[in-house]
Amino acid sequence: MSMIEFKNVEKYYGDFHALKNVNLKIDEGETVVLIGPSGSGKSTLIRTVNGLEEIEEGQLLVNGFDLHDPKTDMNRIRKNVGMVFQHFNLYDNKTTLENVMLAPRLVLKRDEAENKKLAMELLEKVGLADKAANMPSELSGGQKQRAAIARSLAMQPKALLFDEPTSALDPEMIGDVLDVMRDIAKDSAMTMLVVTHEMSFAKAVADRVIFMAEGQILEDSTTKEFFEKPKEVRAQKFLSQVEHH
């Protein structure tokens, strides 16, 4: 069953045509990497999936619900679709542990003892158990991002969106975050859509690679196909640029 499905989706910012006739299907459990030059609409596309951006035309089905239908309850979608941001967006007024526990408590009404147990397990998993009581301002960038991933996982979502999760990190922090993401991708039930410039991650983890430019999906290939020989000239160019970086 497809978890995310774009059907002829158009998105505008005022007069600016940000997504052009996007068609895309991502099955449950798939890990898809989305690449493309800056300004090509990667963030826009990924943000439509949990309703942070509205679409103007077409259909966008997430977990069976059409986001373009005004009757769709966006909060219900977001319960099932987590998101990890470039700049973490941790709750600055909450400890690491509270960051992880807040949404399950408020939204899922998870029992407090169970919530805490699960949150600590997740912090353990991302290597932050010893930072549970710290405020976000006391964490390094890499730690913040791992805390943000734990926060998303605590909702036990069906899908996770990552928008350049390592782009704001110092190089030595990137590995730990990618390791955590790799672990999540191993969970066969989790659907992942990842915007990243980390080609080694894409090669190792992605089932498919999607290449975007100027608001359009230019290529949608299996990872193997894509890295052996991209069909699109622009994708080839882009690849050689990021790989020699």
Partner 1 sequence: MALLQNNFPTFLQGFGYTLLSSIIALIGSMILGTGFAIMQILPQKWAQVIGNVYVQVFRNIPLLIITFFFFLVVSKYVKMSGFTSGTVALMLYTSAFIAETVRAGILSVDGGQMEGARANGLSFAQAMQHIILPQAFRIALPSLGNQFINLVKNSSILAFVGGLDLMYQGNMVAANTFDTFSTYIIVAIFYLILTLPLSYYIQHLEHKLKRAL
Q: Contact with partner 1 (CB under 8 A): which of 8, 23, 89, 200?
A: 89
* Dist. CA 182–CA 205, nearest whole Å: 7
Question: What is the dihedral sign for C-alpha 187, 175, 173, 227?
Answer: negative
Which partner in partner 1, Mg ion, ligand ADP, none is near 90 (CB below 5 to 8 A by kind)?
Answer: partner 1
Written as six digits, the tokens of 12 are 């505008």
Look at residue 14 and give its three-state secondary structure.
coil
Judged by CB, which is closer to ligand ADP: 33, or 126? 33
What is the phi-psi region of residue 211: left when phi exceeds 0, alpha when psi lies from -120 to 50, beta otherwise?
A: beta
The count of chain residues that interact with partner 1, using the rule CB under 8 A, is 27
Q: Applying CB under 5 A, does 145 fall inside the site for Mg ion?
A: no
Q: How far is the CB of 161 from Mg ion (least distance, A)?
A: 12
- 83 vs 184 by CB, closer to partner 1: 83
Q: Pick from 199, 201, 212, 210: which is nearest to 239 by CA?
A: 199
Contacts 24+ apart (CB under 8 A), 110-117: 115/154
Name the one range near Mg ion by CB under 5 A: 2-10, 25-33, 43-51, 237-245: 43-51
For ligand ADP, which residue of 26, 31, 33, 42 counts as binding (CB under 6 A)? Answer: 42
Question: Can residue 129 be called a binding residue for partner 1 (CB under 8 A)?
Answer: no
Provide CB contacts within 8 A for 16, sequence distance 6+: none
Per the CB < 8 A criterion, the answer to whether 127 and 161 are in contact is no
Max alpha carbon distance in the chain (Å)? 55
Contacts of 92 (CB under 8 A, 6+ apart): 135, 136, 137
- Binding span for partner 1 by CB under 8 A among 18-26, 59-67, 86-94, 177-185: 86-94
- Does residue 43 belong to the site contacting Mg ion (CB under 5 A)? yes
The total number of residues shown for the chain amounts to 245
155 binds, among Mg ion, partner 1, ligand ADP, none (CB under 5 to 8 A by kind): partner 1
Q: Does 4 bind partner 1 (CB under 8 A)?
A: no
Restricted to residues 10-69, the positions that interact with partner 1 (CB under 8 A) are 50, 52
Q: Which residues bind ligand ADP (CB under 6 A)?
A: 13, 16, 18, 36, 38-44
Binding site for partner 1 (CB under 8 A): 50, 52, 75, 78-79, 82-83, 85, 87-94, 102-103, 106-108, 135, 137, 148, 151-152, 155
